[in-house]
Amino acid sequence: MTNVEIGQEVVRSKGDYVVGRVGKVIAIDTEKQRAQVSWGSWVKFDVIEPTSIPYEIVETKRFPKYIRK
């Protein structure tokens, strides 16, 4: 994700069991290319996607998987 804004609703698209977690961006650190999301953690821009883009979370044997539609 490249255009991250405070207040934007995002979904976690990479990780293990946390894929599919939804929250709002509450802070941005452009120097480190990461955002703090309302669920409490700082995450890199490349592991979140805006919820405005259609997506599906598919359950697999191990962890959920994010799929863009």
Distance CA 9, CA 26 (A): 10
Distance CA 2, CA 5 (A): 10
- Extract long-range pairs of 33-42: CB within 8 Å, 24+ residues apart: 35/4, 35/10, 37/10, 37/12
The pLDDT tens digits of the residues spanning 16-46 come to 999 999 999 999 999 999 999 999 899 999 9
For the chain, what percent of residues have pLDDT higher than 70?
100
Structural domain boundaries in the chain = 9-68
